[in-house]
Structure 1
Amino acid sequence: MGGSNPAGKGRLRFGCHDFLNSQPLIRPLLNGTVEPPFEIVLDSPARLADMLKEGGLDLAFIPAVEYASIPGLRIVPGFSIAARGDVKTVLMHSKKPVGEISSVAADERSRTSVALLKLLFRGFFKRDVAFVAAGEPADAVLVIGDDAFSVSRAERVVYDLAGEWLAFTGKPFVFSVLCVADGVNADEAITALKKSKEIGVKMTDEICGAKGIPAAIGREVCEDYVRRRIRYDLAPADVEGLKLFFQLARRHGVIEREPPLRFYP
């Protein structure tokens, strides 16, 4: 696998999802505060991973689990979408206590969330459950992204997957990493992304007051989420959590191999 723009040739293509949790990373690029030295592609996390794998993107925020299955990627230090404890946007809503669940309808837009849920069941809840497509009848449903703020919790048991991971492991959980394809010189792109993040994490007022933020979220919830729930810097503790996730996911058959972590450059 190689990037679509080898080092120094042409305009790079950068991909990111457009959920609320990405706004502190990309809002300055989208509104012109920071001039992007690349083309920006917005899509679902799963689709971004597919495009990076196929060479349609040169660098992208992808579900962390995809790093284990896509060869020829390097992780960019200093960027993540991670959480230490309840994250509020990766939830399992259930009609039953976890010990009685036999089926889960999974939203496949974020493959890391699906992988984490499978790992929790196999490695920690000790339950053998069937995973079915979103919308199919099931005892529980995985809800991710901004939709998680608006789904009714009435008569449901709600499990926050990042909170469950912390309770079992004591580690933060990394949902998304920024990856660069081998053969791509992303220095200029990363400089712009660093500047965007530096500005964006201070733009909570604009992000949480912007039109288009779902009314179900509300300003107070939005500010708590953006400022305190999400970890954007891939700190050493996050790297340790990522390593442990890969190790346990391999042990319990969620992924085929435990990948070595390769960092850009």
Structure 2
Amino acid sequence: METIRISAVSYFNTIPFVYGIKNSRLLKNYELSIDVPSKCALKLIEGKADIGLVPVAALPKINNYQIVGNYCIGAISKVRTVCLYSQVPINEISKIYLDSHSMTSVNLVKVLARDYWKISPVWINTNEESILGLSKLESVVAIGDKTFELENYFKFCFDLAEHWIEFTKLPFVFACWVANKQLDSDFIANFDKSLEFGILNIEDALKDYYLNHPLNVDLDYYLKNNINYIFDEKKKNGMKLFLQNILP
């Protein structure tokens, strides 16, 4: 049986997924890599992974993609880790720096700016990673683990999931599991069950994570309240609407 190459995202919100894949004992013959979201997508596009947790804005770039399973990285309220940080109110923003790690957050803020906030800022790509460097910018979209610290440096924090939900009345999907080819149905079924195992055992997943990553962040609350993992019909409708409206 061939080895299935899995690419998962390297952020806090995937801790349950990674724990389930590694500890459910349901999966065999797989290789797991941990990557930033943009690299997950690139691996699927280039055929360097068979299944990955892909930012939804990258889906059109993957040939013959197949959404796998019943779980995703989604939000039905504030997500906390995908935000526009600014020193000025939205209507005074003149330029926005963009995080290079996720096409989804970049496209989401552009849709909100155009259709909801009705602003036309200058968009500037940045590879800045340090908290100090990011904190010096007027307005910046930031995602992932660094946002827990970054939120202390700006006067305003606009949660992109919260604003999308206010605008559309639909939840938002940041990433979903995608295969770039037909995979064995038994593997897919067990893969989905392994994700479920992780979600049902968040406390154990965090205990395992904290052994090697001591933190002062309340990840239990974050994973159970800010992230919503169930890929239901409302989320699929929200994802469809987003993909219809992303800018070229």
TM-score, length-normalised on structure 2?
A: 0.89
Any idea what the Cα deviations from partners look like across 1:8-28, whole Å, max 9, x if unmatched? x62121111121111112213
Correspondence for 1:76: 68
Matches of residues 15-94 of structure 1 in structure 2 within 5 Å?
Answer: 15-31=7-23, 33-94=25-86
What are structure 1's unaligned runs of at least 5 residues? 1-8, 256-265
Higher helix share: 2
* Pairs within 5 Å for 1:136-147: 138-147=137-146
Structure 2 contact 83–160 (Cα < 8 Å) conserved: yes
Identical pairs, percent: 27
C-alpha spacing 1:158/1:36, structure 2 compared with 1 (3 Å) = farther
Q: Which amino acid aligns with 2:217?
A: I
Structure 1 partner of 2:229: 232
Asked if 2 retains the 8 angstrom alpha-carbon contact of 1:93 and 1:153, the reply is no
Q: How many residues align?
A: 239
Counterpart of 1:215 in structure 2 is 215
Q: Distance in 1 between matches of 2:23 and 2:76?
A: 29
Matched AA of 1:75: I
Q: CA RMSD in A?
A: 2.0
Equivalent position amino acid for 2:211 in 1:
K
The aligned amino acid for 1:211 is: L
Cα deviations by residue, 1:74-131 (Å, 9 ceiling, x for unpaired): 1124121110110011011101000011111111111101110111111111111122
1:213 Cα deviation from its structure 2 partner: 4.6
- TM-score, with length taken from structure 1: 0.83
Q: State the match for 2:170 in structure 1.
A: 171
The answer on whether the counterparts of 1:162 and 1:173 sit within 8 Å (CA) in structure 2 is: yes
Counterparts in 2 of 1:167 and 1:217: CA distance versus 1, 3 Å: same
- Name the aligned partner's letter for residue 133 of structure 1: N
Contact 2:38–2:103 (Cα < 8 Å) also in 1: yes
> Residues of 1 paired with 2:100 and 2:227: CA distance?
21
**Structure 2: 5+ residue stretches without partners:** 129-133
Secondary structure of 1:191's match?
helix
- Partner of 1:30, secondary structure, is helix
Aligned to 2:239: 242
What stretches of structure 1 move > 4 A for 4+ residues in a row? 31-34
Q: Does 1:123 align with 2:120?
A: no
